[in-house]
Structure 1
Amino acid sequence: MKNHLRVLLLAAGPGLLVPAGAALAQTAPAAQSVLATQATIGKLPLSLAQAIDYAVKNKPTLLATRLGEQTAKAKVGEIRSAGLPQVNVAANVADNFKLQKSLVNFGALGGGASATTLTQADITAAQNGGTVNLGTVQLPSEPVPPQAFAFGLQWAGNTSASVSQLLFDGAYLIGLKAAKVYEELAQKQTQQAEIEVVEQVSKAYYSTLVARERLQLLSRNVQRLDTLLYQTNETFKAGFAEKLDVQRLQVQRNNLVVEQQKAARLTELSVALLKFQMGLPQSQDVRLTDELSNALVDAGTLRQRLGAASFATGAGDIGLGPVPTAPATPTTDAGAQRDQDQQTALSGARTGQLAAAFNYNNRIEFSTLETQQALAGLDLANRRAGAYPRLLATAAYGFSGSGKTASDLFGFRGPDSRTGNGFSNQNWFGFGNVGLSLQIPVFDGFRRKYLVQQSRIQQQIIERGFETLRQSIDLQDTQSRTSLVNALDVLDNQKANLALAEEVARVSRIKFEEGVGANLEVISAETGLREAQTNYYAALYDVLVAKVDRDKATGELYRKASN
């Protein structure tokens, strides 16, 4: 039981985006059954919440993790079973083809004039398992030496039932405490795996939305360029345009069609990746019901939460501010400034308000490490409990028998059995006992001492791990915040560039249609527009991914996915 316990102890607000998986736990059972039915027929409609819900229930890696959780529960049941009554039934039959012999001294029995002795014929009969009638004879001058006798019969058997009940065992009591902690550890490991799935599905879903939106935009670009090419070709036929103008637009259209085909294949690949992250068969057709516009909300509100400056105004969360001036000369001394810098570094470069609001326990890794620390403490207590006594109550009842032959043994003759001349002929006899078994460890060669030392060192390692994990979480928090702020700035910039590129392309087309602009100017404007569109959607995807990473770094991703 202690070995099993060792195994158990050692196993061991508004923002830029709609919260990833915000409706994970709100999916009604009826809706879930419809989703499961649609997964086999026709196109499967998927919102982000439904995609996450399906992945959490069907992702093979998560199913394997949950099997590990069930294994942990079974292991806990195994430990608890040690405290229940242990019942055993045993039976055996033996053919003593060579009976064991023992020496018996039938010599002088006290120095009298006579004694009980045996003749050689009696000895031979006894050695062969025969019946010997002892008589009183005159003692010889020299006593008879010890003689070898065979006890028992050739065939012997017994059957018994035994029961034992553990009354006290320090290791078992600690194991009961560790059982709940061990189950919590398995559950947190499953939660951590679910967070990874939520992150992967969210990013894959956003990637598919962006790819789909860009493909639609390319389709509109091709239609617009087709119209322009048709108008230019008609103008060329009328003699008001050069053939070179038509050819340039034709090259432009060919390149745009190739780009559209590439985007279509990339969109298909994004859908395939989404299916993989969900654990959905690749043969199942899906239809994304969420729109990219629904994933974006007020970026200014998110900037206020982050305490970040706006790319457009540079004034942070207070709106348009005055022109920046040179910083005032600090009035604090060098020591105070050094303390302030150290405090800023320890808070992960967060402002005081944000640092105070950050809770490490929101991160599943921190909570898991706390559970491992609790298990390490129970492991130390378990090893110390090795010095406690162990008390069991025992009871047994059974029958044993013997016979000269196998058929004689299995005759099962009881106390009422008699021979022809009236002698008892019983060959099976019952036995029973009850008792207590006390085991007190006295000295084990200092083995327990060194085991306790190992457990203490393991506790110290976990304590050091807390500091490392805090620093890692601080770094991830700072990195995710910086990445999100930078992505917001890039998105604002690319959005402004896209608006300018659209205006340039519109004016260039009007000038060309009115005959006051060059064809080359239109082509250059269209190229710049497509580049601005590509950059915009790339920046948009970066913002979506950065927001998911930010939610994961602050420990909000799982909470939002389970609300």
Structure 2
Amino acid sequence: MNKAFRLLLLLAALGFLGLHELLAQTPAPGQAPVASGAPMSLSLSQAVDFALKNKSSLMATRLGEQTAHARVGEIRSAGLPQVNVAANLADNFKLQKSLVDVGAFGGSTATQLTSADVTAAQGGQNVNLSQVQVERTPVPPQAIAFGLRHAGNTSASVSQLLFDGSYLIGLKAAKVYEDLAKKQTQQAEIDVVEQVQKAYYSTLVARARLELLARNVQRLDTLLYQTNATYKEGFVEKLDVDRLRVQRNNLVVEQQKAQRLTELSVALLKFQMGLPQEQPVVLTDQLDGALVDANSLRQRLGAANFNTGSGDRSLGGVPTAPAPTGGNAAEQARQDQQSALSGARPSQAAAAFNYNNRIEFTTLETQQALAGLDLANRRAGAYPRLVATAAYGFNGSANGLGNLFAFRGPNSVDGNGFPNQNWFGFGNVGLSLQIPVFDGFRRKYQVQQARIQQQTIERGFETLRQSIDLQDAQSRTTLTNALDVLDNQKANLELATDVARVSRIKFQEGVGSNLEVITAETDLRSAQTNYYAALYDVLVAKVDRDKATGELFNQTKK
């Protein structure tokens, strides 16, 4: 029986420890999952979604959005009734005294009693005594203390804002401020999407290059084995075998470097996602799928040529600069500058671009709205401010602290029948009207600063438009060039692969030299490196193009 009981306790303890460990490994809501031994399968969309939910910098930005929401509540609270309750207790251990001119109250009176009055009174007669004014000696002002040693009061006050121009404008600005915080969060999300996509593509390219290097080593090992066997039969020189061994050693070192770079790319991806470095991951997307997206984008871009400026052929030719008229050089310079900053795009292409697709543009619009509300708020400072107030409370005093807390009301009397009330109530209601008359031109200069800030933002729109136009033209050109380079490097890779294959066949058949094989293998590795570099450039240029057109985050949400 004891053994069975001990076994039951042991099983219960083990079960409790297992449950405790499981709970310790369970992530809290909104917290990145703790690293586990099981690999996490990640597609590009899954990696982006994970980063949008767990990236620490993005979560901090969302906290700023919550702060903006709380700020809106703070501004609205100013228009709600303000209720305050106060209580005070004071021990006037040394009462304050005030000088009082007691002489100002005049002389004193006395009753005059004569001998005749005494005689008449003794005879049983009624005597009317008269009052006479007695002059007093002048007395200097005397120090008199008013109040009692212990005093207390308690009160409740209520105020309600009835009219304040600044408050009404503040309500509008609060909503705009909250919208600005949301746009800043969206801007941070776009940056995270860009970083994760580039890191994911970098890992895909590094992984594909590592796999290709592994196949190269395997192929070179086969060639080295065959050459070594041929050398033992006396058909090739030892120098040929040594050259292949040197080639293989260099390739193995390159493979090791590629392995470390791949691990570094994975670590960078985990960092951009907000994923613990201890968590193993498996990338499920392939480069072929990414290339399909890039090629489809190239169809929309069109082929690069001098007639379309590497843009859509339906937009027409690139506008040529008009011949100098010699009449208005400033206007001509302005047109040249505008043409350069817009990427020399046709006017219909510039008109077709929607600047509102860029979060920077809508953010600047929100800042402009805030600047306008700030200007109106400064001007509203000249309006009157009306507040309704009400208060009710009690105050009391006594010589002793115990008597102060007796709380005697108006019906209280002492033993002799005299009233001894020590607490008295008070109350008031009213309106408070504040009319600003002159503040030393403070409001004037505040309005001036707000107007300048608004004008500064308006000037920023033109700069932002030009910057967006330049980014649009630059991303279009960069992506088109990258695709052209990729096509060229792909053709070079196919040629180098074919040359290396023919060189190996010729060497095995005894009609080619070992040096020719080594040169062909070197050219093949160089072509492979250039191809994957061009492939990575295309993928990065694709991300930059999507960001320039404002489609990066929209594609992610799809």
Normalised by the length of structure 1, the TM-score is: 0.83
Distance of 1:558 and 1:261 partners within structure 2: 36
Counterpart pick for 1:470 among 465, 468, 484 = 465
How has the CA–CA distance of structure 1 residues 506 and 276 changed in structure 2, closer, same or farther, with 3 Å as cutoff? Answer: same
Distance of 2:48 and 2:110 partners within structure 1: 98
Match of 1:93 in 2: 89
Alpha-carbon distance, 1:309 to partner: 2.1
Match of 2:60 in 1: 64
Alpha-carbon distance, 1:447 to partner: 0.6
Superposed, 1:42-441 pairs within 5 Å as 42-107=38-103, 138-140=133-135, 146-297=141-292, 301-309=296-304, 334-335=324-325, 344-345=339-340, 347-441=342-436
How has the CA–CA distance of structure 1 residues 359 and 46 changed in structure 2, closer, same or farther, with 3 Å as cutoff? Answer: same
> Do 1:69 and 1:186's aligned partners in 2 also have CA atoms closer than 8 Å?
yes
Alpha-carbon distance, 1:97 to partner: 2.2
How has the CA–CA distance of structure 1 residues 340 and 207 changed in structure 2, closer, same or farther, with 3 Å as cutoff? Answer: same
Distance of 1:152 and 1:84 partners within structure 2: 38
Segment of structure 1 superposing worse, 372-381 or 98-107: 98-107
> Do 1:303 and 1:309's aligned partners in 2 also have CA atoms closer than 8 Å?
no
Distance of 1:549 and 1:244 partners within structure 2: 50
> Do 1:108 and 1:139's aligned partners in 2 also have CA atoms closer than 8 Å?
no
Q: Secondary structure at the match of 1:187?
A: helix
Residues matched between the structures, number: 499
Alpha-carbon distance, 1:41 to partner: 4.4
Match of 1:448 in 2: 443
Query: What amino acid is aligned across from residue 286 of structure 2 in structure 1?
Result: E
Alpha-carbon distance, 1:76 to partner: 1.5
Alpha-carbon distance, 1:106 to partner: 4.8
Distance of 1:36 and 1:492 partners within structure 2: 41
Alpha-carbon distance, 1:347 to partner: 3.1
Alpha-carbon distance, 1:432 to partner: 1.2
Distance of 2:135 and 2:167 partners within structure 1: 66
Q: Secondary structure at the match of 1:472?
A: helix
Distance of 2:409 and 2:323 partners within structure 1: 104
Distance of 2:310 and 2:389 partners within structure 1: 81
How has the CA–CA distance of structure 1 residues 444 and 340 changed in structure 2, closer, same or farther, with 3 Å as cutoff? Answer: closer
Render the CA deviation track for 1:333-360: whole Å, top value 9, x for unaligned.
5459969866643533223443222111
How has the CA–CA distance of structure 1 residues 524 and 316 changed in structure 2, closer, same or farther, with 3 Å as cutoff? Answer: farther
Distance of 1:154 and 1:457 partners within structure 2: 60
Identity %: 78
Query: What amino acid is aligned across from residue 90 of structure 2 in structure 1?
Result: A
Match of 1:543 in 2: 538
Segment of structure 1 superposing worse, 548-557 or 196-205: 548-557
> Do 2:310 and 2:480's aligned partners in 1 also have CA atoms closer than 8 Å?
no
Query: What amino acid is aligned across from residue 167 of structure 1 in structure 2?
Result: L
Segment of structure 1 superposing worse, 228-237 or 347-356: 347-356
Q: Secondary structure at the match of 2:292?
A: coil
Alpha-carbon distance, 1:167 to partner: 0.9
> Do 2:107 and 2:133's aligned partners in 1 also have CA atoms closer than 8 Å?
no
Distance of 1:106 and 1:436 partners within structure 2: 40
Distance of 1:299 and 1:90 partners within structure 2: 70
Alpha-carbon distance, 1:223 to partner: 1.0
Distance of 1:422 and 1:160 partners within structure 2: 30
Render the CA deviation track for 1:144-184: whole Å, top value 9, x for unaligned.
66544322111111011111111111111111001110001
> Do 2:387 and 2:432's aligned partners in 1 also have CA atoms closer than 8 Å?
yes
Larger radius of gyration: 2
Distance of 2:376 and 2:293 partners within structure 1: 54
Q: Secondary structure at the match of 2:416?
A: coil
> Do 2:108 and 2:136's aligned partners in 1 also have CA atoms closer than 8 Å?
no
Alpha-carbon distance, 1:518 to partner: 0.9
> Do 2:391 and 2:428's aligned partners in 1 also have CA atoms closer than 8 Å?
yes
Query: What amino acid is aligned across from residue 192 of structure 2 in structure 1?
Result: V
> Do 1:108 and 1:115's aligned partners in 2 also have CA atoms closer than 8 Å?
no
Alpha-carbon distance, 1:141 to partner: 6.7
Distance of 1:207 and 1:157 partners within structure 2: 75
Q: Secondary structure at the match of 1:308?
A: coil
Alpha-carbon distance, 1:301 to partner: 4.6
> Do 1:303 and 1:310's aligned partners in 2 also have CA atoms closer than 8 Å?
no
Please list every run of 5 or more consecutive structure 2 residues that lacks an aligned counterpart in the other structure: 1-28, 112-130
Distance of 1:238 and 1:383 partners within structure 2: 98
> Do 2:294 and 2:539's aligned partners in 1 also have CA atoms closer than 8 Å?
no
Alpha-carbon distance, 1:283 to partner: 0.4
Distance of 2:32 and 2:103 partners within structure 1: 93
Match of 1:525 in 2: 520
Alpha-carbon distance, 1:258 to partner: 1.0
Alpha-carbon distance, 1:450 to partner: 0.7
Q: Cα RMSD (Å) of the superposition?
A: 2.9
Distance of 1:552 and 1:103 partners within structure 2: 82
Alpha-carbon distance, 1:139 to partner: 4.2
Distance of 2:223 and 2:415 partners within structure 1: 127
Distance of 1:298 and 1:384 partners within structure 2: 54
Distance of 2:192 and 2:311 partners within structure 1: 34
Match of 1:127 in 2: none
Normalised by the length of structure 2, the TM-score is: 0.83
